[in-house]
């Protein structure tokens, strides 16, 4: 899809009912995200999510999906200790139905990515704003806004690619930085608050349905309008991403 310049559509999902719907209407990648800690469990961040939570929700979603690629977040504390610990926990998610696992972090993850890749586990990196590090970052702030930080993110993307990562999610970075990274690596980039020049987009399912009751980030857009079914809302999102109508300047940094 990257080679053919066909935008990739990705959405979060946490249960079988929505998994079946997203799979049916043609979402390319379904992410069982640790965002479930906020939208399902009601926590203020993703940090409280446990591996057992991710396994449970992965089993739920995987039971209802056939066509979409199923990506699953590794939760906080499940992969930072060592490559061996990361492999043991990633294997549990693969056994639960994951087809690719996502890890947050920069160059320090290179050895872990290589270790997992060499052992047959597909991986997705996550750069820019990394929600599991929100306390270290000082809150949910746009990343890569100065040359030093921007170059650090670019270097991290290249390093992870060199070590076998298959995809990279870019979160909350300037659109021009998203463009530079996408042009400089061969693997696909998926943006969330990273502008329109990346290879695909991801949003939290509840956000596109207009079910955001707290602070709404600039990049979030509800695709719901009066009379829409949930299926139509998802189709609206897919169409907007495919046509590169979303995100526009209003949703970019």
d(CA 43, CA 47): 9
Chain centroid to Cα 54, Å, comes to 14
Query: Could you tell me which residues come within 8 angstroms of residue 185 by beta carbon, excluding any fewer than 6 positions away?
Result: 157, 158, 161, 168
**66, 171, 245, 250: the active-site residue:** 171
Query: Could you tell me which residues come within 8 angstroms of residue 135 by beta carbon, excluding any fewer than 6 positions away?
Result: 47
Q: Is 171 a catalytic residue?
A: yes
Residue 75: CA count within 13 A, CB half-sphere: 22
Q: How far apart are the first and last CA of the chain?
A: 25
CA distances from 69 to 30, 101, 191 (A): 6, 11, 17
Q: Report, as residue numbers or ranges, the catalytic residues.
A: 171
């Amino acid at each position: 899809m990257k080679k053919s310049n066909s935008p990739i559509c990705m959405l979060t999902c946490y249960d079988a009912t929505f998994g079946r719907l997203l799979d049916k209407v043609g979402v390319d990648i379904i992410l069982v995200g640790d965002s479930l800690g906020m939208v399902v469990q009601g926590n203020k961040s993703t940090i409280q999510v446990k591996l057992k939570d991710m396994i449970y929700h992965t089993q739920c979603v995987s039971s209802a999906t056939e066509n979409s690629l199923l990506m699953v977040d590794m939760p906080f504390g499940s992969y930072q200790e060592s490559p061996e610990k990361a492999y043991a926990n990633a294997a549990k998610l693969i056994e639960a139905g994951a087809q690719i696992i996502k890890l947050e972090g920069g160059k320090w993850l290179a050895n872990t990515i290589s270790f997992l890749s060499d052992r047959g586990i597909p991986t997705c990196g996550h750069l820019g704003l990394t929600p599991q590090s929100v306390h270290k970052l000082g809150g949910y702030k746009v990343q890569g806004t100065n040359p030093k930080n921007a170059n650090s993110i670019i270097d991290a993307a290249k390093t992870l690619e060199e070590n076998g990562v298959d995809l990279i999610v870019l979160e909350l970075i300037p659109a021009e930085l998203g463009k530079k990274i996408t042009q400089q690596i061969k693997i696909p980039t998926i943006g969330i608050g990273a502008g329109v020049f990346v290879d695909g987009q991801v949003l939290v399912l509840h956000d596109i349905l207009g079910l955001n009751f707290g602070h709404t980030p600039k990049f979030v857009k509800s695709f719901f309008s009066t009379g829409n079914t949930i299926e139509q809302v998802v189709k609206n999102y897919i169409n907007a991403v495919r046509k590169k109508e979303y995100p526009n300047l209003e949703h970019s940094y």
